[in-house]
Amino acid sequence: MKKRKDGRYQKNIYIGRDGNGKAMYKSVFGKTQAEVTRKANEIKLKISKGMDILSENMPFSELCENWLIYKKALLSSDKQYKSYKTNLKPFSVLGDVAISKLVKADFQCIINDYFARNPHTGKPTSKKTLRDYRMTARQVFDFAVENRILDYNPLTYVRIPKNAPVSERRALTEQEQRWVMEMPHRAQLPAMIMMLSGLRLSECLALQWYDIDLENAQISVHQKLVMTGTPHIVQGAKSKAGIRTVNIPHTLVDFLKNQKNHKQSDFVVLTTKGEFFSTTAWRELWDSYMADLNLKYGDFSEYERKPKSKFDPKGVPFVIERFTAHYLRHTFATNLFFCGQDLLYVQNQLGHAKPETTLNIYTHLVQTNQIKKINKIIDLNDYISAIAEPQKMMLV
């Protein structure tokens, strides 16, 4: 230890050797010898634990980039990667700060600011979005902990304000569900499967005919389609809970029995060329599906004339509300709750790793469902049949 000209004390701690065998040291400073000794002992303790002392002053932005590179190789879609990048943007103001200097308060203040007002919308940020922000930043610091750069994750104790608005995901209306059941289209097959089994898009597009047990009305989920790059099948699921057996209603069983291509291909849903769907191919198919639904079921009474086809040279206004494949999965879960099924059963059918995940998404339905539990549970087959043909059945 030595005393510097500025009056502070300094001590150099040996931390190892670099790739060329040269000794490396880290300097600590303090106003007193006791302060320097304390800091030196802290560094020695970290070294004894195998911590990467040289990386702890890495800027937060660099850690985020390293994590994104690591994460991209594990993801099955560009969409998820882009979501992660978006979720980290609120914390970009901390980009130049050394990660070892960041504490809970730095992130809690940003969460609180976005709760009060989202700069992009001018409105309070929803609870789900705030959770996504926190979850992504927490994963970044988990990455640092796993790589022995830090021994503490400042996001662990960050809290989401209780009064944050809840954005409820929309399920298809009964009328929209009938549209899916009624109108023939190349996208009708995957749409029916997702709406009546709750499979994710990647799970649906990887489904094989031997995964479907029509006799016992069940689908086995154990693989997914990775649509980025060259589309390919990957065994496993989003989590261990994603490998599951889903019970499906007779409406879907009957629909699948009538499909003509189940003898022609091992896979249930393929392009017209018999190939796996890429992101672009799926988007084009879904856009065509939405356009056909719009043309058939849209109300054009406010317009001078009804278009003759979706290729009408004067253009076709979109008069129905668009929906995505994920709306179909959400519809399946919503129907289960409306039938009186409990939280754990819905969690199992959706393949969520934790009941908290299901609860966070469907809190409003779980609360409503408490009233329904007073009455008997409605059979899903009867419920779906009543949606398909409301004029023939009455729900109790």
Indicate whether 186 and 124 sit together in one domain: no
pLDDT of residue 120: 87
Residue 235 β-bridge partners: 223
Could you tell me if residue 161 is inside a domain? no
Amino acid symbol at 237: A
Indicate whether 191 and 254 sit together in one domain: yes
Return the CATH number at 135: 1.10.150.130
Question: Where are any strands of DSSP class E within the chain?
Answer: 2-3, 9-17, 23-30, 212-213, 218-221, 223-226, 232-235, 244-247
Nearest to 169 by CA among 388, 394, 6, 365: 365
Indicate whether 250 and 346 sit together in one domain: yes
Indicate whether 308 and 273 sit together in one domain: yes
d(CA 358, CA 344): 9
Q: Tokens 């966070």 sit at which residue?
A: 360
In terms of C-beta density within 10 A (0-12 exposed, 13-18 middle, 19 or more buried), how is residue 376 classed?
A: exposed
Instruction: Give the list of residues 6+ apart from residue 1 with CB closer than 8 angstroms, or none.
Output: 9, 10, 11, 33, 36, 37
Could you tell me if residue 156 is inside a domain? no
Indicate whether 133 and 197 sit together in one domain: no
Number of other CB atoms surrounding residue 242 within 10 Å: 20
Of 103, 128, 146, at which residue does a domain stop? 146
Number of other CB atoms surrounding residue 237 within 10 Å: 20
Of 129, 146, 163, at which residue does a domain stop? 146
Could you tell me if residue 331 is inside a domain? yes
Indicate whether 76 and 43 sit together in one domain: no
* Three-state DSSP class for residue 7: coil
Instruction: Give the list of residues 6+ apart from residue 36 with CB closer than 8 angstroms, or none.
Output: 1, 9, 10, 11, 28, 29, 30
d(CA 242, CA 351): 4
Q: Name all contacts of 155-158 with Cβ < 8 Å and 24+ positions apart.
A: 155/104, 155/107, 156/104, 157/104, 158/104, 158/107, 158/108, 158/111, 158/134
Could you tell me if residue 9 is inside a domain? yes
Positive/negative CA dihedral, 201, 205, 208, 212: positive
Residue-wise pLDDT tens digits, 7-57 = 898 888 777 777 787 877 778 888 898 888 888 787 777 767 666 656 778
Residues of the chain predicted below pLDDT 70: 47, 49-54, 76-77, 167-168, 238, 260-265, 363-378, 391-396
Indicate whether 202 and 113 sit together in one domain: no
Could you tell me if residue 151 is inside a domain? no
pLDDT of residue 394: 46
Indicate whether 24 and 135 sit together in one domain: no
Indicate whether 99 and 186 sit together in one domain: no
d(CA 216, CA 213): 6
Indicate whether 104 and 30 sit together in one domain: no
Return the CATH number at 220: 1.10.443.10
* Three-state DSSP class for residue 153: coil
* Three-state DSSP class for residue 122: coil
Could you tell me if residue 152 is inside a domain? no
Percent helix, percent strand, percent coil in the chain, to nearest 5: 50, 10, 40
Indicate whether 201 and 307 sit together in one domain: yes
Could you tell me if residue 69 is inside a domain? yes
Of 106, 131, 146, at which residue does a domain stop? 146
Indicate whether 122 and 73 sit together in one domain: yes
Into how many domains does the chain fold? 3
Could you tell me if residue 76 is inside a domain? yes
Q: Domain range holding 190?
A: 174-388
